């Protein structure tokens, strides 16, 4: 069989006629030249890249959705979050400072989303004044871009 021949299979519920059997025995020539291995590999790479991009976009949408749900939950417990921040800072433990700063970043994002960033900025100034003798905490605030 030549590289340009192909077979086409069909399901039939009757015996084939003599004419149909002759047509099946005759080689059928495709109008297209076969693709090279390089073309097939390039097509496979392109398809893989498209799938990876689609998967990345899906994951990003999921992350944004999860972030939105988290901020909505945080909005419902905002006052508790500020009290939790004060408690975390009062422990004077660096790991707790990191938790407090993460929560402060979340509260800032929530305030920006609501158009009330000024309120968070005043709270941050208050925290800096209250904890001026905690350079480790203040350094974490600076690295997070909060002050």
- The pLDDT confidence band at residue 13, using thresholds 50, 70 and 90, is confident
CB 147 within 8 A of CB 101: no
Contacts of 131 (CB under 8 A, 6+ apart): 89, 137, 138
Query: Looking at the structure, do residues 21 and 50 belong to the same domain, yes or no?
Result: yes
β-strand partners of 29: 5
For residue 104, what are the domain limits? Answer: 78-143
Q: Which two tokens stand for residue 105?
A: 């970043």
In the predicted model, what is the mean pLDDT of residues 42-68? 95
CB 124 within 8 A of CB 141: yes
Among 76, 101, 124, which residue terminates a domain?
76
Query: Looking at the structure, do residues 25 and 69 belong to the same domain, yes or no?
Result: yes
Query: Looking at the structure, do residues 68 and 87 belong to the same domain, yes or no?
Result: no
Query: Looking at the structure, do residues 55 and 98 belong to the same domain, yes or no?
Result: no
- The pLDDT confidence band at residue 30, using thresholds 50, 70 and 90, is low
Query: Looking at the structure, do residues 5 and 71 belong to the same domain, yes or no?
Result: yes
The whole-chain average pLDDT of the chain stands at 88
Instruction: Please give the pLDDT value at position 17.
Output: 84
Q: What are all long-range contacts of 37-46, with beta carbons under 8 Å and residues at least 24 apart? A: none
pTM, 2 dp: 0.65
Query: Looking at the structure, do residues 53 and 39 belong to the same domain, yes or no?
Result: yes
Query: Looking at the structure, do residues 89 and 40 belong to the same domain, yes or no?
Result: no
Contacts of 97 (CB under 8 A, 6+ apart): 88, 89, 134, 136, 137, 140
Query: Looking at the structure, do residues 63 and 103 belong to the same domain, yes or no?
Result: no
Query: Looking at the structure, do residues 67 and 86 belong to the same domain, yes or no?
Result: no
Query: Looking at the structure, do residues 46 and 104 belong to the same domain, yes or no?
Result: no
Query: Looking at the structure, do residues 20 and 47 belong to the same domain, yes or no?
Result: yes
- The pLDDT confidence band at residue 2, using thresholds 50, 70 and 90, is low
Q: What's the rounded Cα separation, in Å, for the pair 74 and 78?
A: 6
Q: What's the rounded Cα separation, in Å, for the pair 110 and 34?
A: 58
Query: Looking at the structure, do residues 70 and 116 belong to the same domain, yes or no?
Result: no
């Amino acid at each position: 069989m030549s590289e340009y021949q192909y077979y086409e299979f069909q399901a039939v519920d009757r015996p084939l006629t003599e004419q149909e059997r002759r047509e099946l025995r005759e080689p059928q020539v495709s109008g297209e030249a076969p693709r090279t291995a390089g073309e097939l590999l390039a097509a496979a790479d392109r398809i893989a890249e498209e799938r990876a991009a689609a998967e990345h976009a899906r994951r990003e949408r999921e992350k944004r959705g999860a972030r939105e749900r988290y901020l909505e939950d945080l909005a419902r417990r905002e006052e508790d979050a500020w009290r939790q921040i004060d408690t975390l800072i009062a422990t004077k433990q660096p790991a707790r400072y990191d938790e407090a700063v993460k929560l402060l970043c979340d509260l800032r994002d929530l305030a920006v989303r609501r158009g009330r960033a000024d309120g968070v900025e005043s709270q941050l100034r208050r925290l800096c004044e209250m904890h001026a003798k905690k350079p480790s905490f203040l350094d974490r605030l600076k690295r997070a871009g909060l002050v």
